[in-house]
Structure 1
Amino acid sequence: MRQYDVTVDAGGCWHPIGSVPLTPDDWARHFGPFRAEFVAARRRHDPDGVLTPGRRIF
């Protein structure tokens, strides 16, 4: 099991810009019910997707 999964399963959280790369599913779990709002803000403020392109958030 990945270290991130163990941490989350234990009730913890992970700083998003940590050393463990997160998958798109991990990001969805991280943002939870606020994901749609976050995605909408990204489209509005960064339509070309130039901010944090390597983090695989979207």
Structure 2
Amino acid sequence: MDGMTVLKQLRADEWGKNAKVIILTNLDANDRILQGVVDDHPSYYMVKSNTKPEMVL
């Protein structure tokens, strides 16, 4: 199961509607697929190619 599916299922569950979720992806802001992820309301998302490890930790 991919991360987008996990996020959709999480948001569908009452418990998961307000859970904090951070997405780490290789998709850029112009990618149509990323827009679908953002529509499921992650708390934050980061693009891997623009993110240094110390930003995640």
Normalising by structure 1, we get a TM-score of 0.27
- Of structures 1 and 2, the larger Rg is shown by 1
Greater strand share, structure number: 2
Greater helix share, structure number: 1
